[in-house]
Amino acid sequence: MDNTDRELLETIADLHEIPEGSFNIRKNGTLLARGCDKDIEIVSKTDKDGIDIIVRPGVKNRSVHIPVLLTVGNFQDTVYNDFYIGEGADVTIIAGCGIHNDTCDSAEHDGIHTFYVGKNAKVRYVERHYANGSGSGKRVFDPVTKIYLKEKSCFILESTQLGGVTYSDRKTVASLGKEARLFVKEKIMTDGQERAVTDFKVTLRGRGSRADIVSRSVARGNSLQHFRSDLIGKNECFGHVECDGIVLDGARIISTPKIDAVSTEASLVHEAAVGKIAGEQLIKLMSLGLTEQEAENAVIQGFLS
Amino acid sequence: MVELKKVSYAVKDEASGKKQDILKDLDLCFGDASVTVITGPNGSGKSTLIKLLMGLERPTSGRILFNGEDVTGLSVTERAQKGFTIAFQQPVRFKGITVKKLLGLAGGAQPDIGQMCNCLSAVGLCARDYIDRQVDGTLSGGELKRIELAMALAKGGEVFLLDEPEAGIDLWSFEDLVRIFNRLRDKTVIIVSHQHRILETADKIVLFENDRVVSAGKKEEMFAKLSQRPALCSMQIKEV
């Protein structure tokens, strides 16, 4: 690992060195390092690029890091990772990808992740995307996350796009069984000419299932973001989608909600608010002694915290 | 000491296009270590005066002096840095920003947790329950109002501008408010209020009516005048 790798790892996974326990670090399309144990097994796929992560039933309070680094241009990396979470397990999975591109060619990582979450299991999935580099080459992420939740399981998705990403098209698909719960907290920051699209399709199949999706976004410069959600209630269930966006400069945010109560027992809510930073928020912070720029930064930092 | 010298503030009437005076030729003086309560009917320009003092609006004419220095042209930030501190009538909500963060911003430099807790206790809130709460729609109006006052205390300063600090705060908490005013006795405190119990805390009362000060004086003499003209203040004045 060189200094660029370390900086990216720290940003996307809070890792300062190679971790202990189960982990998988991928760099420029190949395996950089891996560790696994009897509780969380990591196996390379034989038919395509990617890994299977197998968490044994009942494993509690464990975490697994699977970061990806991309430090070259003219490279497109697609990886298929499947997660099998055993019944009653409780784990944190820290994924994410950092791109450093100093070239004028594009660098792209597409993580296709599928989660099969067993009965009563709980997963906290943290995914951070970050890119930097001095080159004019594009830095692209097109992640796909598929989540299948069995009875009484719980999935917490914390997804963050920190900045520097030229283009991203994120798709999240989830299917919830009886009394299963899905919580999503998404944060996206774009600037310059960047584009970010995020698309949720969540089907509440099981009786008593519940989904809560909260997306917060900040668009600066001439960037464009498009939030789409499709929430389908097929049983007695509760679903809530909230999309809040702050637009600055000449940026634009589009929010396209769709809620579909297939069952009359479904209760679905959508909220969306997009606009500038409220003038009174800036005034309040300026009355505490902050400059207008400091006040704006404080509002954005809090909004995305 | 804060002085207003012939301060006027006018706006253009949207409908008629004519100039409309909100405040006219105001001469006022707020001394050090004094509590002044400004009262008067709605629309008489009380909140506008607070805005002019904080730099949220600029006078159409006249000057505002702070310890002899002309601060009329200074921005909100500059006045805040000079020691002007405001608690707004209607506190603002912030998605994602915690009470701790706001108190930290108010206090400046390195946030001191002990000091923050002290400020929350002063407004009758248990620090442990509130410090990590977000200042958003999950807080009630009364809670927000108390946090607004706690922020003013955390910021500190020399001139405190409190715009209807009692609004939304339940009757049982008036004692907390009175304690806060007492805590600020060594500062220049300017309060807009209609409440009799707040008027009672004043060293000086200023009565506004139709864009000008109709009367200003010590509490005792003003109470006598107000009781003769109850319509100028809230119904509670009748209790005097």
pLDDT in tens, B94-153: 988 999 999 999 988 666 788 888 899 988 888 889 999 999 889 998 899 999 999 999
Q: What is the mean pLDDT of residues A194-206?
A: 97
Are B105 and A298 inside 8 Å of each other by CB?
yes
Work out the average pLDDT over A222-248: 96
A271 inside 8 A of chain B by CB = no
- Where do the domains of chain A lie? 3-303
Residue B240: what pLDDT? 28
Kindly state the tokens that stand for A97: 């990808």
Residue A254 reports pLDDT greater than 70: yes
B228's CB contacts (< 8 A; 6+ apart) are none
B235 CB burial (10 A radius; 0-12, 13-18, 19+): exposed
Secondary structure (3-state) at B100: helix
pLDDT in tens, A71-99: 988 988 899 999 999 999 999 999 988 88
Q: Which of A257, A259, A155 is nearest to A215 (CA)?
A: A257
Beta strand spans in A234-265 (E): 237-247, 252-261
> Are the Cβ atoms of A289 and B77 closer than 8 angstroms?
yes
Residue B166 above 60 pLDDT?
yes
Q: What percent of chain B lies above the pLDDT cut of 90?
A: 48
The residue with tokens 């304690």 is B179
Q: Which amino acid is at B23?
A: L
Cα–Cα distance for residue pair A248/A240, rounded to 1 Å: 27
The reported pLDDT for the residue numbered A223 is 97
Minimum Cα–Cα distance from A290: chain B residue: B77
The H-assigned helical ranges of A103-242 are none
**More confident: B23 or B112:** B23
Of B91, B94, B106, the CB nearest to A288: B106
A219: Cβ contacts below 8 Å, ≥ 6 apart: A189, A190, A191, A225, A245, A246, A247, A248, A251, A252, A253
Q: How far apart are CA B162 and CA B86, in angstroms?
A: 6
Task: Tell me whether residues B96 and A287 touch, CB distance under 8 A.
Answer: no
Strand-pairing partners, residue A252, are: A224
pLDDT category at B239 given cuts 50, 70, 90 is: very low
Q: Collect all residues of chain A within an 8 Å Cβ-Cβ radius of residue B81.
A: 289
Dihedral angle computed from the Cα positions of residues B228, B233, B234 and B239, in that order, rounded to the nearest 10 degrees = -30
Task: Determine whether the interchain pair A305/B97 forms a contact, defined as Cβ–Cβ distance below 8 Å.
Answer: yes
Sheet hosting strand B61-66, strand order edge to edge:
B19-30, B2-12, B61-66, B69-70
pLDDT of A5 reads 82
Choice among A146-150, A236-240, B159-163, B217-221 with the minimum mean pLDDT? B217-221
Burial of B228 (0-12, 13-18, 19+ CB in 10 A): exposed
Measured distance between the N- and C-terminal CA atoms of chain B, rounded to whole angstroms: 30
The pTM (predicted TM-score) of the whole model is 0.83
Mean pLDDT of chain B: 86
Tell me which residue in B56, B88, B95 faces A303 most closely, judged by beta carbons: B95
